[in-house]
Chain A
Amino acid sequence: MTKKDFLTKTLTDTVISRRSFLKWSAALGGTAALAGGLDFGLKTVEKAAAASDSQIFTTSCYHNCGSRCILWAEVKDGTVVRMLPDQDPEDTFDRMKAIPCLRGRSQKWRVYSPERLKYPMKRVGKRGEGKFERISWEEALDTVATKLQEVKEKYGNEAIYYNYATGQIAGGVDNTYNGVGPIARVMHLFGGYVSFYGTYSTACYSAALPFITAGGSNSSDDLLNSKLIVLWSDNPVVTRTGGKGIGYHCLKAKEAGAKFIVIDPVYNDTAIATEADWVPINPGTDCALIAALAYVMVKDGTYDKEFMATYSVGFDEDTLPEGTPRNSSYMAYLMGRGYDKTPKTPEWAAPITGIPAERIVKLAREIAGTKPCAMFQGWGMQRRAYGEQPVRALPILAAMTGNFGISGGGNGTRPTGGTNISIGGFPAGENPIKTKISVYMWPDFIERGHEMTSGPRDLIKGAEKMTADMKFMWNWAGNCITNQHSDINGTVKMLQDESKLEFIVVSDVVMTHSAKMADILLPDTTHFEAENITGGNSEGRSNFVLFNHQLIEPLYEAKDVLWVAEQLADRLGLGVEFREGHETRESWLRDIVAVARENNEDFPTYEEFKEIGYYKKVGGGGIIAGKAFVEDPIANPLKTPTGKIEIYSPTMAAMNNPEEIPAIPLYIPEWEGVSDPLREKYPLLMGGHHSVQRSHSTFDNVAALREAHIQSLWMNTLDAEARGIKNGDMVKVFNDRGEVRVPAYVTNRLRPGVTSLPQGAWFTPDENGVDIRGCINTLTKYHPTPFAKGNPQHTNLVQVEKA
């Protein structure tokens, strides 16, 4: 309402201490002006005239934000001067512009960042100390090649690991996700390495999905046909920020008349932008809410009995597989005949979920009474202690309400991409080693790899047992060694024992905290510095492919991944096999276009494609998941083991761990959850939603983004008041694993008792080990989930005090 102006500010500064972004960043030593030539917004008219000698090119946005957008760059005198949005003249529902978000618009600052790695380095201090010495590329590559051979000889290829890393995943040549791209190709030729299954994104979702629907939901353009859209732990205007994502599809659905309900501990940005009804739920209790909603529908008789009988396994006793003990069905669980003998009444669910019983009843009737209704899950509720359960529970509601397999409805999972364009990729070849660990369990691979088996403790895949401990780690374009993995302080300690994991190679473009763990640190080029072809955004009725132009010369001594892979291949005696006749980057890219032209009639020639910069395909969408199954369940079974909506999973039943891997999706109280006695010491639940100013840790070095969205601990007004904390005050957030200092964002936008520290900020410990930039993984616990062995990073308890 009122804001004090500059004079008041400066005057009051002397009397009452006030924090401002500039002071915070000064404290971090980063007040440096935004890179890239400032002229302070003056004389724009003259500049426009002068800028006529600049040119614009398509580039891309190639990291892990869940979207892809069309990004252009204005280049002048060999420098990128500004970022521009999708220049397509048309912007309709069928041919939606892929308008880039604030991060895409910040690419210039990310590339021209003072934190850029400038030359190859080797570690000189203790591991993790961050002391490095400049070396030549020659030396760096020799060291890596020698070490690879040494490890291979001494321990075998199964002592090599390729860590999860999503900094460069948009396709084409510069693609360095596990198993794809040039480094993977060399390593496959070299005899392979242990890889992983699952992702930090969807560990529980992808592990549980095959056992419930075995596939995603309707494509997002179908939202236009929904009357009611219920978003469950989903925040697509943030997690699909780009202007062609699910977030914008939601707004289009709103325009078409759909009502929204958002079930989330946080009144998230999507709830605001869709003008939704917010149902603030206690974290980790979705299964209790889902059970109570199902209970009300059963009692009201508003669910589709016939559908459940025909299409599901284990909804009630009649549909249980042969030989299953009595009262194992979901109905038995609901009605209090199941293992816990407790009816799942709204009154039962109210104290667990924090939602009053009447509200639950109202919600059940709203959902059951509005058709078609689309229920979607985000991945927030599955990045939790028992994240497998809600993934399997929500489709039950979709099925009960008759929304499964119909337009405007959905199967209760997540939207599927609507439009695919088949183009070529970089031929990485096959990994000869089939052993895979859960993506999250690499610390165990380091500490006790040789003990790990396919048994329930480790659930390794592709082999019965492991043969070695991890001795060599590749970490290319990822920050999951520390920053994005759990319990940073614990992890760093483990890594400091150099006798265990002997060698870490990190490639990045900036000095991240994971990079500080490296033994050899390789400076990569960014997408501005090399030519590439990247995939598009499959959301809705259109898609595109981008020609990513080389806009500038590589900065400093940065070298692109193809060059590094070739050099390495040469040193390992694999140069000829690696190249397979490809002498230039362009020759690989031409292969990609050749495949694209085979699969898409109107795909332009390489030259045309490069000239235009992008290829758009329209006319997709309209995917109704499970439609064929609903029409004829015998002829078109689902891909679940039972071929039906698998509410009761025989596979999970066979695992004999009903407490943590129940056959039907149950509410399991979380460790460090609402009902954990540890709350006496650490009373506040803390999640870490994905936030709009970063893609994970990527972009946290862009000062303009940090200024626009200040990293802060979200906490409820009442919790703040009880601690004497006001909006913007500096707080300390701590538990037994560490401490973080950040400003508090005091808001009614989340439940009392709940806090959120948006994930991805750069871990920046001060001399006492206190993180002063707000990295949530200072506080998260390394504790794999039971079935997926995934990351429960949203389940945490903390205490907060005024700093």
Chain B
Amino acid sequence: MAKQLGFYVNLADCSGCKACEIACKDRKELPLGVRWRRVYEYGGGEWVADGDQMVPSGVFHYFVSTACMHCEKPICMEVCPASAISKRDDGIVLIDPDKCIGCRYCSWACPYGAPQFNEEAKVMTKCDFCVELQAQGQNPACVDACPYRALEFGDIEELKAKHGELNDPAPMPDPSLTHPAIVYTPHKDTRTSQSGGGQVLNID
């Protein structure tokens, strides 16, 4: 099997600070509205009366930091009419801005919201796994930015061996759609794409 690079996110330790998002934005000089790395808040439960007091019942909340999953079955690439999306030997999925005609079809298809249209440049953009840094032997900007060391990257098989198999914490979609190259450590409250039971709570 060919090499497949992927991300690892430790949901248990993530504080939702978004240093990863900001580092990505700085590294990639992204304009407002384009957020290659985003952090979702997922939570649920309710407040109920316990005698005279109100108490939380099943209240939970956790964060999921997300970028492009560099999927093994990238639906973005499947649907792109301009052959602007390609998958490298190391599994990294890239959009070629010189080929992209800006039809936005990939963003209709990708279940991770990874491709994001750049209004100024008029082309689709997404996380490129910091290929330029990797080429210099450095880590992706987001990985090095996490103050709580909750992000890692590497060969997905090695990451799985180290961290387990979880690849669909809610609110992530059913992984069978695209086979994302990702693995997570669950938070104590982590639900899966199947069990759900909460909501995305970001207000943007």
Contact = CB atoms under 8 A, between A and B. Distances in A.
Q: Decide if A and B touch, CB cutoff 8 A.
A: yes
A797 B150 CA distance: 38
A33 interface: yes
Nearest to A235: B15
A269 B15 contact: yes
A82 interface: yes
Interface stretch (A136-144, A166-174, A241-249, A433-441): A241-249
Contacts of A185: none
Contact of B54 (A109, A275, A752): A752
Contact of A1 (B27, B47, B130, B200): B200
Contacts of A21: 32-33, 204
Contact of B61 (A33, A82, A101, A272): A272
B137 to A, nearest CB: 12
B15 A354 contact: no
Contacts of B108: 5, 7
A100 B26 contact: no
B17 to A, nearest CB: 5
A20 B31 contact: no
Given A102-B22, A275-B188, A350-B52, A267 B61 contact: yes
A551 interface: no
Contacts of A42: 97, 118, 121, 123, 125
A7 B103 CA distance: 11
Interface string B67-100: 0000000000000000000000000000001000
Nearest to A82: B26
A355 B50 CA distance: 9
A749 B43 contact: yes
Given A238-B15, A354-B53, A40 B125 contact: yes
B46 to A, nearest CB: 7
Interface stretch (B1-9, B141-149, B154-162): B141-149
Contact of B18 (A37, A102, A254): A102
Q: Which of B34, B43, B54, B136 has the most CB of A within 10 A?
A: B54
Contact of A44 (B23, B28, B55): B28
A270 B63 CA distance: 12
A528 B128 CA distance: 30
Given A22-B33, A241-B147, A275-B187, A355 B26 contact: no
Given A272-B16, A748-B44, A748-B61, A41 B29 contact: yes
B30 interface: yes
Interface string A3-26: 101110000000000001110010
A648 to B, nearest CB: 32
Nearest to B97: A42
B107 interface: yes
Interface in A704-728: 704-705, 707-710, 712, 716-718, 727-728
A41 B199 contact: no
Contacts of A752: 47, 54
Contacts of B196: 1
A243 B148 contact: yes
A428 to B, nearest CB: 33
Interface in A99-122: 99-102, 105-106, 108-109
Interface string A354-375: 1110010000000000000000
Interface string A262-278: 00000101101101001
A74 to B, nearest CB: 10
A154 B54 CA distance: 60
B46 A748 contact: yes
Contact of A351 (B12, B53, B199): B53
A31 interface: yes
A284 to B, nearest CB: 16
B203 A101 contact: no
Q: Which of B15, B19, B107, B128 has the most CB of A within 10 A?
A: B15
Contacts of B33: 21-22, 707
A243 B15 CA distance: 12
Q: Using C-beta atoms within 8 Å of the partner chain, give the interface range for chain A.
A: 35 or more
A278 B135 CA distance: 44
Contacts of A43: 97
A47 interface: yes
Given A47-B132, A356-B50, A33 B43 contact: no
A747 B43 CA distance: 8
Contacts of A748: 43-47, 56, 59, 61
Contacts, number: 223
A280 B56 contact: yes
A758 interface: no
Contacts of A354: 53-54
B44 A106 contact: no
Q: Using C-beta atoms within 8 Å of the partner chain, give the interface range for chain B.
A: 35 or more
Nearest to A33: B31
Given A237-B148, A243-B147, A748-B43, A273 B14 contact: yes
Nearest to A706: B32
A199 to B, nearest CB: 25
Contacts of B152: none
A38 interface: yes
A37 B29 contact: yes
A537 to B, nearest CB: 12
A745 B123 CA distance: 32
Given A44-B130, A267-B61, A692-B18, A707 B135 contact: no
Contacts of A108: 26
A12 B21 CA distance: 27
B177 interface: no
A415 B137 CA distance: 38
Interface in A681-709: 692, 703-705, 707-709
A635 interface: no
B17 A237 contact: yes
Contacts of A102: 17-19, 21-23, 145
B14 A83 contact: no
B26 to A, nearest CB: 5
B133 interface: yes
A251 interface: yes
B26 A105 contact: yes
B18 to A, nearest CB: 5
Contacts of B18: 102, 692, 708-709
A765 interface: no
Interface in B149-204: 149, 170-171, 187-189, 196, 199-201, 203-204
A749 B61 contact: yes
Given A83-B26, A704-B32, A745-B203, A269 B107 contact: no
A717 B46 contact: yes
Contacts of A749: 43, 59, 61
Contacts of B204: 20-21, 707, 710
Contacts of B54: 354, 718, 751-752
A378 to B, nearest CB: 15
A45 interface: yes
A692 B62 CA distance: 16
A41 B34 CA distance: 10
26 contacts: A5-B113, A6-B107, A7-B104, A22-B33, A42-B123, A44-B28, A44-B128, A45-B135, A100-B147, A101-B147, A102-B19, A105-B145, A241-B19, A247-B15, A247-B148, A270-B15, A272-B15, A273-B13, A273-B14, A275-B189, A359-B55, A692-B18, A716-B47, A718-B54, A747-B201, A751-B47
Interface of A: 1, 3, 5-7, 20-22, 25, 31, 33-34, 36-45, 47-48, 82-83, 85, 91, 99-102, 105-106, 108-109, 237-238, 241-243, 245, 247-248, 251, 254, 267, 269-270, 272-273, 275, 278, 280, 350-351, 354-356, 359, 692, 703-705, 707-710, 712, 716-718, 727-728, 743-745, 747-749, 751-752
Given A1-B196, A105-B22, A278-B56, 9 more contacts: A21-B33, A40-B30, A41-B34, A41-B36, A100-B19, A241-B147, A273-B12, A356-B55, A747-B61
Closest 7 CB pairs of A and B: A48-B132, A243-B147, A41-B28, A273-B15, A237-B15, A102-B19, A728-B203
